[in-house]
């Protein structure tokens, strides 16, 4: 067991006790679920008063994470992008996670503004509304007006949140290390790697300098496109705890009634929003990773406004090549190539049934080949593909999992604005552009350069590695490390069997020679040895029975 992991847990025993209490509270509903005790079931309630016996396991997980606060909410939101790990039901439930956090006093926000920006609020803004426009788990947003007249929103991080999140992150990391070390069933899901990604994502989301850079980069990418509006950032009024940006004049995408009354063309708005995301993904390789309706604003002229750019995704050239190859293989109905691309993209278990995967992918593609693009549900297709990947315990790289989740949510958001919008139709020009880009001279030249660098590195290092290998062989210092899977239980049982036989034989000699001390003509040590050997033999037989058929060749 890792000592440093235990030490981290002991340092935060109080918070760990709070977490254990919340998890135990939500586990009680399952524990007593089989008993018909209304007086007990009615007392097991969530923080918002919901009876726990009436909700599903996935809903209990969501409620527990919500009650755990910022870190729990953000962990659930991150896990909602990993349908390949936790399945579609849990993913859909965790996607509904929202913080229900009361706003901090205005004096606290004003103090943070003065401390970080070096001047009182009255000097920074001509007007500043003390009542927040919105309050979330990490920050709250206040409306304000600059002395030059521009209307802005000021996003201020909650006070003391860094220490609270730091404590929770240490606890989650320690638990992940212990689970990966001592839980073989969870080890394939790489809990330490998942927590490492979560830690990096959460710390970046809490540092508003990253969101400021994201907004500036999006603004550069869409500077020439009048249908998309990225809020202007005011760098002099920003810090790692504060970000001041333009307040967009429009209707929030989650206000359904106001959208219908706006008089704007919602179909055009949905089409422009979807095209914007596809441009981000396939053109820029840098995209807004949370296409929730509330993060889009309907502006006059059906212009798409974008807010809350803290969660972003990036696709490097190598991953983009692999994703494009997968999409083209699906379009061409080449199940063999689709199988190869899935195996190249994900981490595959050792006992992997390749032919069964290919058969399932054949069935998957048969459901979509030959149908009109308008009738194809991209979100459903991607969800089916993720379910196949999960069924075979293939772990996708985090950037790809985030991308697939973004596309699934994007289609749901687009159809919510207008059922007439088909993401498959909108993706068709990008697929055609994808083919042309893969055959372009610049792309071929870049791939040739990459291949040359790989071969140059191999040719440079190979002679040195061979010389080192031969030198070790000649000096007798060459060692070979063999990893015998499942060998430890076999060796343990073999040692236990030998020890049991030795104790039995020794006890027989003590019994037959009536070794002292003797009671009623029986050697006490001999009798005690018999009892111990019988107990060890029973444990050995029980272990063999639990492991399966003793005549099995596995």
Q: Specify the long-range contacts of residues 61-65, CB closer than 8 Å, at least 24 apart.
A: 61/26, 61/90, 61/93, 61/94, 62/93, 62/94, 62/96, 62/97, 63/26, 64/22, 64/23, 64/25, 64/26, 65/94, 65/97
Strand (E) or helix (H) holding 4: helix 3-11
Is residue 517 reached through a cis peptide bond, with omega within 30 degrees of 0 on the bond before it?
A: yes
- One-character DSSP codes across 9-28: HHHTHHHHHHHHHHHHHHHH
**β-strand 228-229 against 303-306: which pairing, if any?**
parallel
Cα separation, 76 vs 82, in Å, equals: 10
- Establish whether 290 is a catalytic residue: yes
- One-character DSSP codes across 305-356: EE----SEEE--HHHHHHHHHHHHHHHTT-HHHHHHHHHHHSBPPSS--HHH
Task: Burial-class residue 488 by CB neighbours within 10 Å (0-12, 13-18, 19+).
Answer: exposed
Cα separation, 306 vs 236, in Å, equals: 21
User: Where would I find the H helices in 208-308?
Assistant: 208-221, 256-261, 266-278
Residue recorded with tokens 């202007």:
232
How many other CB atoms are there within 10 angstroms of residue 362's CB atom?
A: 14
Contact 153, 172 (CB under 8 A): no
Contact 157, 135 (CB under 8 A): no
Detail the DSSP E strand segments found in 122-183. 127-128, 134-135, 139-145, 151-157
- Residue 105 token pair: 């006093």
Catalytic residue among 84, 168, 290, 360: 290
**Angle CA(147)–CA(310)–CA(342) in degrees, nearest 5?**
155
Cα separation, 368 vs 330, in Å, equals: 9
Contact 295, 311 (CB under 8 A): no
CA atoms within 13 A on the CB side of 65: 25
Nearest CA to 306 out of 379, 156, 410 is that of: 410
- Residue 117 token pair: 């920006």
User: Which residues have C-beta within 8 Å of that of residue 250, sequence separation ≥ 6?
Assistant: 297, 298, 299, 300, 303, 305
**φ, ψ dihedrals at 131, nearest 5°:** -80, 120
**3-class secondary-structure state, position 440:** coil
Counting every residue written for the chain, the total comes to: 554
Q: Which positions are catalytic?
A: 290
């Amino acid at each position: 067991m890792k000592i440093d992991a235990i030490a981290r847990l002991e340092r935060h025993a109080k918070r760990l006790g709070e977490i254990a209490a919340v998890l135990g509270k939500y586990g009680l509903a399952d524990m007593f679920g089989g008993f018909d005790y209304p007086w007990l079931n009615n007392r097991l309630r969530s923080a918002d008063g919901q009876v726990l016996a009436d909700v599903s396991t996935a809903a209990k997980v969501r409620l527990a994470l919500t009650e755990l606060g910022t870190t729990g909410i953000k962990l659930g939101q991150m896990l909602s992008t990993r349908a390949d790990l936790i399945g579609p039901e849990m993913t859909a439930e965790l996607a509904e996670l929202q913080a229900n956090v009361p706003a901090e006093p205005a004096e606290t926000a004003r103090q943070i503004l003065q401390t970080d920006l070096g001047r009182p609020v009255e000097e920074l803004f001509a007007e500043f509304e003390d009542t927040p426009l919105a309050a979330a788990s990490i920050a709250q947003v206040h409306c304000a007006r600059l002395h030059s007249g521009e209307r802005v929103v000021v996003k201020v991080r909650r006070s003391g949140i860094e220490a609270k999140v730091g404590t929770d992150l240490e606890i989650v990391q320690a638990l992940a290390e212990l689970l990966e070390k001592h839980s073989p069933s969870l080890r394939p899901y790489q809990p330490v790697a998942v927590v490492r990604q979560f830690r990096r994502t959460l710390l970046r989301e809490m540092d508003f300098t990253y969101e400021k850079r994201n907004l500036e980069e999006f603004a550069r990418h869409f500077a020439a496109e009048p249908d998309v509006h990225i809020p202007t950032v005011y760098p002099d009024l920003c810090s790692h705890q504060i970000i001041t940006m333009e307040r967009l004049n429009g209707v929030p995408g989650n206000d359904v009634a106001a959208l219908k009354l706006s008089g704007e063309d919602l179909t055009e708005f949905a089409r422009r929003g979807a095209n914007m995301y596809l441009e981000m993904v396939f053109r820029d390789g840098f995209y807004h990773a949370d296409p929730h309706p509330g993060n889009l604003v309907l502006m006059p002229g059906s212009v798409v406004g974008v807010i809350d750019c803290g969660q972003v995704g990036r696709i490097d050239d190598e991953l983009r090549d692999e994703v494009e190859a997968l999409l083209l293989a699906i379009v061409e109905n080449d199940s063999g190539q689709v199988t190869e691309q899935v195996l190249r993209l994900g981490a595959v278990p050792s006992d992997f049934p390749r032919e069964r995967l290919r058969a399932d992918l054949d069935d998957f593609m048969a459901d979509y080949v030959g149908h009109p693009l308008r009738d194809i549900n991209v979100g459903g297709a991607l969800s089916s593909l993720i379910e196949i990947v999960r069924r075979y315990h293939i772990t996708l790289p985090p950037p790809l999992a985030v991308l697939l989740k973004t596309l699934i949510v994007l289609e749901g958001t687009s159809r919510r604005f207008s059922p007439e919008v088909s993401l498959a139709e909108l993706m068709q020009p990008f697929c055609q552009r994808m083919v042309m880009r893969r055959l372009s001279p610049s792309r071929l030249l870049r791939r040739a350069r990459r291949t040359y660098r790989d071969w140059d590195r191999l040719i440079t290092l190979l002679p040195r590695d061979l010389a080192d290998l031969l030198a070790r062989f000649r000096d007798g210092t060459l060692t070979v490390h063999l990893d015998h899977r499942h060998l430890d239980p076999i060796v343990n049982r073999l040692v236990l069997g030998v020890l049991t036989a030795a104790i039995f034989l020794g006890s027989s000699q003590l019994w037959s020679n009536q070794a002292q001390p003797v009671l009623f003509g029986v050697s006490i040590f001999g009798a005690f040895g018999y009892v111990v050997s019988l107990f060890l033999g029973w444990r050995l037989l029980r272990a063999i029975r639990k492991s399966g058929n003793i005549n099995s060749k596995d």
